[in-house]
Chain A
Amino acid sequence: MARLRVLRHDPGREAGPRYQAFEVADVPGQTVLGALFEVQDRQDGSLAFRYSCRGAVCGSCGMLVNKVPRLACRTQLRDVLGEQPSKLRRYGPLAATPEGWDPATEVLVEPLPNLRVVRDLVVDMTPFYEAYREVEPWLVPDGEPPAGRERQMTQGQVRHLEDLVGCILCAICTGACPMYEGKPDFLGPAALAKAWRFHEDPRDMRREGIVEMLDSPEGIGGCELVYNCVRTCPKGVAPGGAIRKMKEEAARLSAKEGDGR
């Protein structure tokens, strides 16, 4: 058996969160998501958490496991029982540990930080999706597409986009990022990486316009290149790397503008 310590909270009803311990079977292949289902299905139907694909492609089940943002479906229970502390930069919610939690014997499960709790492990994703919309995440092509065929791209150009396209918008980077503190309007790593995906797409005509649009304190200025997002991204998107390139491009653009004066 393995022990989970799960944050429970119903903000409409309770003043603050509490932690509840559950015993679950520790069979090989058991994931954190599987363990949560064992609780919900057999022990306590009141536990709330998001899920869908259970195969690490839909991005529903991002949560904090032992203070590290991860996909619950892809996290093997045995791998996180008694694991070494992570190398993430610890900020508020990643640093504070609940009283009584014994990392050697218990897996700690909490909602993603930087998003309001709706109930238990379900967070309000509205600001996350709003930031995504804010960056205008769609292709703006140069003119009409060729009739009856595709726009030409080389496989090299596609390959260059693939890691960025692979983003599943799970908000794990949001939960890992220390930069939201006092900056609720920060667009965050996922939205900025999405913008960079279109910047890098040879079919998109906006080019530097994308960087100019996001060269603001809420945009790339809000990032201090801590790279917690890169360390926790389950898909290898490396949002921090994209933001660094955007910052370099913004610096180049403003230098050019300076020259022009």
Chain B
Amino acid sequence: MAGSQDSALSSSTGGIEAAEFAVSHDVAVIGGGLAGLRAALAAAAAGADVAIVTKVHPLRSHSGAAQGGINAALRDDDSPEMHAFDTVKGSDYLADQEAVMVMAREAPARVLEMEHWGCAFSRTEDGRIAQRPFGGAGFPRTCYAQDRTGHSLLHTLFETCVREDVRVYEEFFATRLAVSGGRCVGLVALDLKEGRLVGIQSRAVVVATGGYGQVFARSTNALINTGDGAAIAYRAGVPLEDMEFVQFHPTTLFGSNILMTEGARGEGGYLVNGSGERFMARYAAKAMELGPRDIVARAIQTETDEGRGIGGRPYVHLDLRHLGEARIIERLPGIREIAMHFAGVDPVREPIPIQPGQHYSMGGVACDVHGATDLPGLYAAGEAACVSVHGANRLGGNSLLDTLVFGKRAGEAAAAYARTAPEVVEGDLRGAIEEEVDRVGEVLGRPSGGPRPAELRAALREAMFARFGVFRDGAAMEEGLDTVRALRGRLDEVSVDYKGVTFNQALVSYLELDAMLELAEVVALGALRRQESRGSHARRDFPARDDEGFLRHTMAVRTSEGPALSYRPVGLGVFEVKERAY
């Protein structure tokens, strides 16, 4: 087409077109963080032709922001059973116990493998991988690389992928799964640099796109964590599980909500309120600062809600000064740097102002211990998935572990499925590509003057944090759900004020908002319907756990009238369900 670029840029219907080619692989992995990279390596090792499709370069993934460490029972006086027990108790008994056993049993092998591939873990005096205490754990089993564990693991895994020459489509934003003949046959992605929609045929797809933290204000998550992968799976008819369980991390930097690792408390840091009191004594007398995250987050929220923040303001102090300069510099250099640059506070000399903030999505795409979802050919792993090993509250140090254990398993399962699945032919993706071209074209073709995506996004995030935050109650959640639905109703009015093809971030922002609204409704409805308090889901109107009614997983399926909820039993049988005390 003559002058296609000019006409694309000026066309009122938008210039994003389908690429004139389609690419084909055995396995496509969406997401280039730890789960995605590990899945790709496993699929490649199983002989599959694999490609990673990621909206940012893999090294920009949110996995790299993980600080404190990764759990594994490496010592003779620890055991996978003890690790599993801590995890199940931490989950408030909502985790599937056999799945947790799988994770705990495979943990040592996955961590040692990372060491063998070059990860520079911090060491003990006898030259072994160092481990620190973490919240809710009965043994110091959190392996770490200073307070940059995610960074070290991500770079090591990426280096291994470079060595293995794994194909990466970087800055390719997956916007739709292609389903044909009742199975997943690939995906459609927006190539951000070239500004075109590309069909990627594959016999199996792994969703490893991370969490949806940006649905909430005050999130520690990277700005890219908008839940796109879970949303496209949901739109393809796959159930989402336990989406109402959202972890609020106790210690995020006041102002920017950047994570201040639990490792800071693992190293001996104190939490102190406005009267200089170590208030955790009143909430978890034995575990103190190392209670599980849900309990510590509620303690801080209660202190500040009741006026005992620093100077009555909505934060308390994380005090590391007694650890001494040498230890802070050796073990916690990353958070020292962040505190200095983002809050103007040197933890060696001053306490750090912190408050709870959204941190992790326990829920996600429902899958089994092989990452298999209800849709043949579609797999999920990492924070995007819900196996479920975290239940109602994840323990610190278990998310990095989840990515490696279940990333590998999903990659292997996807490769095995791809070996036997029928070939995908170009026509299988045609419908999906055409529909995506139409969808994007309609958005770009809207008249300008409507609200910008950022306006709705900000309203959504505020509403979600206010109504579905650390504490919840029925009336507030009803209002919150109404707000989410009203915002979804306004999505059609939103206009994208840039129509160009190259790096159209206004369009990306719109597509992300669409995904976020989709997921927010599931979070909201799931939370409202769960009339109990369990783990991170703390209702003032239903303060007790109700095992009879709700010791079960929430399953949400998309319908034209919104999410349809049902419930699935929890996998029990290894550990007895008990009251949780710390």
Contact = CB atoms under 8 A, between A and B. Distances in A.
A10 B498 CA distance: 13
Contacts of B346: none
Interface string A145-178: 1001111111101110110011011000000000
A53 B503 contact: no
A55 B193 contact: no
Nearest to A71: B341
Nearest to A53: B222
Interface string A42-54: 1011111111111
Nearest to B458: A41
A119 B65 contact: no
A54 B108 CA distance: 32
Contacts of A10: 500, 502
Interface in B43-58: 56-57
Nearest to A133: B162
A120 B338 CA distance: 28
A56 B64 contact: no
A168 B148 CA distance: 11
Contacts of B337: 56
A53 B64 contact: yes
Contacts of B160: 138
Contacts, number: 168
Contacts of B223: 51-54
B303 to A, nearest CB: 23
Contacts of B128: 149-150, 152
Contacts of A162: 120, 146
Interface stretch (B179-187, B251-259, B267-275, B286-294): B251-259
B503 A48 contact: yes
B5 A13 contact: yes
Interface in B297-340: 330, 334, 337-338
B120 A149 contact: no
Interface stretch (A57-65, A98-106, A246-254): A57-65
Nearest to A13: B9
Chain A interface main SS type? loop
Interface stretch (B109-117, B394-402, B462-470): B109-117
Interface residues of A, number: 60
Interface string A135-151: 01111010001001111
Contact of A165 (B126, B152, B503): B152
A155 B500 contact: no
Report which residue of B60, B148, B163, B501 has the largest number of chain A beta carbons within 10 angstroms of its beta carbon. B60
B123 A158 contact: yes
A40 B123 contact: no
Contacts of B256: 29, 54-55
B494 to A, nearest CB: 11
Contacts of B224: 51-52
Given A53-B60, A55-B338, A46 B9 contact: no
Nearest to A38: B454
Interface of B: 5, 9, 56-57, 59-62, 64-65, 108, 112, 115-118, 120-130, 145-146, 148, 151-152, 155-156, 159-160, 162-163, 193, 222-224, 255-256, 258-259, 330, 334, 337-338, 341-342, 452, 454-455, 496-498, 500-503, 505-506, 509
9 contacts: A53-B60, A53-B65, A53-B223, A58-B56, A58-B65, A137-B162, A165-B148, A166-B151, A204-B118
Given A55-B342, A58-B222, A125-B57, 4 more contacts: A45-B497, A45-B498, A60-B60, A141-B116
